[in-house]
Amino acid sequence: GIEEKIPAPTTVGLSGSPSRFQHTVSGFGVMVTRWRAVAPTLALALVLVPAVLFLVDTPTEDLPVSGGHEVIAIFKLAGGLSLKHLDPVPDHALLPAGGMSINQSHTLGWHHRSIRIHLFDSEGKMLLLRRSANLRTCPGTWGPVGEHVHEEETPTEAAKRALAEELGTEASSHIRVSCNITQSARFVHAVGDGRIENQAVWMWVVVLSKPASAIAFRFDEEVADHRWVTLQEFGEGLEAGQFCGDTQRRLGLLAMERLGRCDPLWTGS
């Protein structure tokens, strides 16, 4: 995050019950009269409030799939800490605050975590995915594998899950080595489209043991297309602005600078 100017989550509910009981006949009559006057309004509220709550949690970010309902880990910033866009995130910066759907987290501006994976086959070509046109965030644009970190999940566990879910279990079984190229996450802050993005991003390089042509990939429903590119083609695409916004370009350039800084996290067959 940035400075803690994000409003705490609020809940919609009914309030305003009488402050004391009515103990006289006349007082009771007044109370009944007033209740009859407000009863239609309260009845309408009982219908509308659940509808409002449903709309707040509707996965508008990930229509038509259910990704907006995924429960991700949310965090508060440690006291006195202020982060700017793309600053490194200290290990002590994020204090656990429970879980929330992706859509609510973006609407209310809670801090959360994500991972970004630069996946290479054994021939040195990198996988790029084209996002579905139905997604709210960056529809139809190209980028590497990415995923939010769930509640009670580490970034490393999220990276493993992303590879299995987005590429299929067969592809994930051919991982030769994976490297964390960020050490400290990079903070991403953006405001727009009715949302507040406060996200700590970890980046990995993953290398497969086989050429892409020898592996059966099974992409999930959020992927409209895919292609394998050389590192030079990836760099040219970053400079040409072919990806989603300047933040993704800068993260991509940072990844290219750090491809040689690898700390093994797991190995596959």
- Burial of 256 (C-beta count, 10 Å sphere; 0-12/13-18/19+): middle
What's the CA gap between 193 and 133, in Å, rounded?
Answer: 16
pLDDT at 13 over 80: no
CA distance 236 to 203: 20
Residue-level pLDDT at 47: 32
Question: Helices 231-239 and 245-257, interaxial angle, to 10°?
Answer: 140
pLDDT of residue 167: 82
Write down the pLDDT at residue 263: 56
Query: Which of 60-74, 82-96, 126-140 shows the highest mean pLDDT?
Result: 82-96
Lowest mean pLDDT segment, chosen from 9-23, 81-95, 167-181, 183-197: 9-23
* Omega cis (within 30) before 139: no
Average pLDDT over the chain reads 74
Q: C-alpha angle with apex 145: 142 to 151, nearest 5 degrees?
A: 130
Does the pLDDT of residue 39 top 70, yes or no? Answer: no
pLDDT band at residue 44 under the 50/70/90 scheme:
very low
Give the highest mean pLDDT range of 25-34, 52-61, 223-232: 223-232
The answer, yes or no, to whether residue 24 has pLDDT greater than 60, is no
Cβ contacts of residue 142 below 8 Å, gap of 6+? 128, 129, 130, 131, 227, 237, 242, 243
75 and 62 Cβ atoms separated by less than 8 Å = no
Q: How far apart are CA 110 and CA 112, in angstroms?
A: 6
pLDDT number for residue 68? 59
212 near 127, Cβ under 8 Å? yes
Is residue 133 within 8 A of residue 141, CB to CB? The reply is no
Q: Which two tokens stand for residue 262?
A: 């690898």
